[in-house]
Amino acid sequence: MTNFTINNQGAALNQQSEMKSSSKRSIVKSFKLATMVAIIAITAALPAAAQVSLGVRGGFTLNKMHFDREVINSDNRIGYSAGLVLDINIPVTGLGVEASAMYTHRDNKLHDDNHTYKRHYIEVPVYARYRLAIPAVEKIIAPYVFTGPNFSFLFKDDAPTSIKNSKTSTSWDVGLGVDLLKHLRVSATYGIGMSKAMEYIDRDYTGETVTGKDKHWTVSAAWMF
């Protein structure tokens, strides 16, 4: 009987390990697919005369989880992000595309307890951009606006069993920025969650869940080479 119990426990552990491995492979495949689609779409849409540059970016985020029911709230929490940015400009038109691959750290603190839950993402934002180029000062300062989707892929968290974070989520971002001296790029972004980022098991209503979506501000600086 003891051997049978041990065998069952071993089989259960193996099954859990296989499920985790399968989930990680699914996230990696989704990330690769989103990146490939973004690259193909950008390449197909741009003329041969497009100007391409690469840069590094870092910044801070202010995140708050918004739930579909008012039985729980969360505080604004500060996180950070860092990664690479690809910038493509179409000469004369002021139009361009900006795509990034970012590591993003987000925190959430729910009002039901004092624990802060950490989430770690790889994010792939793809923005359409319009740059206002004024000939007299273009090389010194050039403001721009942008908008587009942001694809997030969760690869690590420390949430308890009452919280289930989505492995993938999408937000729509809008923002404005300024290019300084043709190399330094400073921007502010506001993102609105389009898909659920979290499910919370409501302790007051057994069996029901509360769905949460991210809303976040990001202030960042990039150096373009």
Residue 10 counted as domain residue? no
Residue 30 counted as domain residue? no
Residue 6 counted as domain residue? no
For residue 40, the SS3 value is helix
Q: Distance between CA 193 and CA 171 in Å, rounded?
A: 4
CA dihedral 220→150→33→21, nearest 10 degrees, is 80
Residue 65 counted as domain residue? yes
Residue 204 counted as domain residue? yes
> What CATH number is associated with residue 77?
2.40.160.20
pTM: 0.76
pLDDT at 4 over 50: no
Domain that holds residue 108: 49-224
Residue 16 counted as domain residue? no
pLDDT at 5 over 50: no
Residue 143 counted as domain residue? yes
pLDDT in tens, 90-122: 887 889 999 999 999 988 776 655 667 889 999
Domain count, the chain: 1
Residue 209 counted as domain residue? yes
Residues 216 and 62: beta-carbon distance below 8 Å: yes
pLDDT in tens, 37-91: 666 665 555 555 678 899 999 999 998 887 776 656 666 788 999 999 999 988 8
> 203 falls in which pLDDT band (50, 70, 90)?
low
pLDDT in tens, 163-190: 888 999 999 999 999 999 989 999 999 9
